[in-house]
Every structure is written in C-alpha cells, then in structure tokens.
Amino acid sequence: MSSIPTRTPAQAPSRAPGPAPERTLRPGRVGDPVTRHDGVPKVTGEFAYSSDLHAAGMLWGKTVRSPHAHAHIVSIDISEASRLPGVHAVLTHEDVPGQKTYGLEFADQPVLASDRVRYFGEAVALVAAEEPEQARRAAAAVKVVYEQLEPVTEMERALEQEPLHPDRPTMSHGYRDDPRPNVVRTMVIRHGDPEVEGEVSVSGVYEIGIQDQAFLGPESGLAVPDGEGGVDVYVATQWLHVDRDQVAPCLGLPPEMVRI
C-alpha cells in the first residue's frame, strides 16, 4: 500500500498550533452561525493544501503550455530536456496510456495536445524531475514548433465555424436545443408580453463574464502509486467521483483503482 503523504518539511508551520476552539454541541436552528472546522487552520497557516504534501521519493511535475491561442503543432522535440540532470520523464500525447481526451460533461479536451492547440496555456508536454528547478529547466528545454492560426474569439464567429462535434451539434445539457453549431448551452427566458407597447422601450445585447470560485490553495496535486497498479490522488476538488471517472480512463485503469 502507498504511504500517507506528510507536510513538506520546508513548508511546515513555524509554531505549534494553538488549542482547538471549544465546540458546544446542541441542536442547530436555521440561521444559527456554524463554525467551519477548517476555518482557523486556514487563516493561521496550519492547513495543509495539496501543494504542502510530500511523499518519499516523489518527483516534481512541470507542464509545457502553449504560448498561442490557436496553432498547429508542427513538431515536439524532447531530446534535450530528457538529458538534463534529475529528469526522469518527459511526456507528450504519445505517452498517454489510455483515453487521449477527457471532459467534465463531454470528453473532448486532450490530455496533452497532439496536432493543434486551441487556447493559450493548453498543455502540450509534462516533465517529471527530482527537484522543482530541474523540472522548470527541462520544461523550458522542450522545443515545440507551432504554425499560428487565427483564433476565434467572438461568439458570433464561433457559430459560423464548422461544428466541433458534428454528431452532437448542440450540447444543451438538458436545456432547450439550439439549431446552431458549437453552442454549449442555450436558455430562453421570457417575461410579460413583448407585443405590449410601453412609454419606454429598451433593447440590446448584454454580455457578462464567467464566474469562478476564488479558492485559497494553489492548483496542485499529489499522485502516489499504491503498489498494486492503482494510484491515490490528493487534490482539492468538489466532485471526487467525477474526477475519478475522468482520470481513470486516461490512465487506462478501471475506476476502482483510482482514489481521489
């Protein structure tokens, strides 16, 4: 079985944690304040995020990412990076042992880009080395030749492109289907009678940005082989089983051999 990760010695807290706050157990009521069990450790620096964990003999990973929003990948040369001290592996799409794509609701995102990158920062290669600086140097030594393409950045232009999924032109996720291609989600909301004339008439197109969680910990993780062909993954997430069901096929493993 795998060993349980511990705090990285260099990142361990400099002082011993104080006494835990007293808790009074009583029946709760709607509106009563609830003390988070992880609140005090987080604000005092005692909480261990995935980037604070350490396992014996572990390697550090670094991702080679695309500097372009849209481009063809002409070639990937890992020869120089593979020869650097401390480097144990440099992986590309050819090294993905299982399914080459993943996705939260539709598996169309490449684990590692092969022929094309479709957004700035898309993962192209992975480096594993004994120390973080060795991994960073090796990642910088990976040579990727790109042929830049014009990115599609406006919604209207995306609707004019060839469907990314001809067999499923609109991924409506249970909402109203849309006849246009490349529509991920569409909703129609109507209130009142649009034919009634009023003293004031306002019309327009409104655009808002996407919202995401502002998490405290860094985006990181620790994967530990369990010694039986499976892997234990330590990572902050909201959907344990969804993550498992995405990771396992890409590793070529049954879901029960991947534990998040």
State residue 13's pLDDT score.
Answer: 43
What is the CA 4 to chain-centroid distance, rounded?
24
Q: Is the pLDDT of residue 225 over 80?
A: yes
In the Cβ-directed half-sphere of 228, how many Cα atoms lie within 13 Å?
A: 10
State residue 169's pLDDT score.
Answer: 55
Tell me the pTM. 0.78
Question: 4 φ, ψ to 5°?
Answer: -80, 125
- Token readout for 159 is 């609707």
CATH of 54-151, one of 3.40.50.740, 3.10.105.10, 3.40.390.10, 3.90.1170.50: 3.90.1170.50
Q: How far apart are CA 180 and CA 219, in angstroms?
A: 35
Which candidate, 154, 159, 72, 160, places its Cα nearest to that of 116?
A: 72
Q: How far is CA 237 from CA 61, 111, 159, in A?
A: 19, 18, 33
Give 31-62 pLDDT, tens digit per residue: 888 888 888 998 898 888 888 999 999 999 99
Terminal C-alpha separation, the chain: 15
State residue 16's pLDDT score.
Answer: 43
- Boundaries of CATH 3.90.1170.50 in the chain? 54-151
State residue 1's pLDDT score.
Answer: 44
Beta strands, E only, 115-211: 116-117, 123-129, 143-148
State residue 33's pLDDT score.
Answer: 86
Q: Is the pLDDT of residue 25 over 80?
A: no
Q: How far apart are CA 159 and CA 249, in angstroms?
A: 31
Q: Could you tell me what percent of the chain has a pLDDT over 90?
A: 50
- Token readout for 72 is 């063809």
Q: How far apart are CA 158 and CA 162, in angstroms?
A: 8
Give 64-92 pLDDT, tens digit per residue: 999 999 999 999 999 999 999 999 999 99
Q: How far apart are CA 164 and CA 182, in angstroms?
A: 6
- Token readout for 24 is 């009074």
Residue written as token pair 């261990």? 48
Which candidate, 112, 4, 104, places its Cα nearest to that of 48?
A: 4
Give 155-193 pLDDT, tens digit per residue: 888 888 888 777 765 555 545 566 777 777 777 777 888
Q: Is the pLDDT of residue 17 over 50?
A: no
Q: How far apart are CA 199 and CA 165, in angstroms?
A: 46
